[in-house]
Amino acid sequence: MAGCQGLISLALLCLWLCHGSLAKNDLPCKPSKWNNAYSTFIKRHVHSQTPKSLDQNQWEKYIRQFGCDRPTQSFLDSSDLERVKAVCSDQGGRQYKENLCISSRPFSFVTVRSQSGTCGIRSVHRETKHLILACELLENQCLPVHFEGNRDSSKPDNNARGCQGGKKGAAAGLKASGLWLLLASALLMCNQ
């Protein structure tokens, strides 16, 4: 009996630990764990008050006003909002990895690098790259919730599924299902 209790305890512990690792979806367009994820994405990356020039003084003033908590920040033009949202659709994006989608077409955006803790600007430059965005389901719409850096200038794989193509799979739930089977097996063994 003590062996059964130990096995059940181990299975429950594994389920509990696994629950935290499921905070990020395995595929795009799965239900989001955070209701305000899209709003946070917009506030951080598609804000309507971003400077229109590459002047470091204007960007330092902006960063000080809206937050310099991240040493590298990227900003998209607010007029591109619909195109940005479309990255999370089959027409505008392709699955990249996990819950990330990559845009079908490149975007132009501004990247600002600041000095940690001081808000001092190290560099401001315009980039043109394919966007890599985490896409999650909020209120029945697949929306961007995270801007992932595209350090390698990756491009979409034309053979990859469209961003929302992942909605058909059940991979996000499979991580825990093996642990549920282990727990069910332990309970069956203990009841025999």
Confidence class for position 18, pLDDT limits 50, 70, 90: very low
Residue 141: φ, ψ to 5°: -135, 130
Q: What's the pLDDT score for residue 170?
A: 34
Task: State how far the Cα of 44 lies from the Cα of 125, in Å rounded to an integer.
Answer: 17
Say what the pTM is. Answer: 0.75
What is the residue whose two structure tokens read 């305000």?
A: 36
Q: What's the pLDDT score for residue 69?
A: 86
On the question of pLDDT at 19 being above 90, the answer is no
Task: State how far the Cα of 75 lies from the Cα of 165, in Å rounded to an integer.
Answer: 27
Read off the pLDDT of residues 27-80 as tens digits, 9 standing for 90 and up: 999 999 999 999 999 999 999 999 999 999 999 999 999 888 899 999 999 999
Reported CATH class of domain 28-168: alpha beta
Any bridge partners for residue 109, and if so which?
A: 76, 127
Residue spans of the domains in the chain: they are 1-24+169-192, 28-168
List, in order, residues 6 or more apart from 181 with CB less than 8 Å away. none
More confident residue, 120 or 182: 120
Q: What residue type is 78 in one-letter code?
A: S
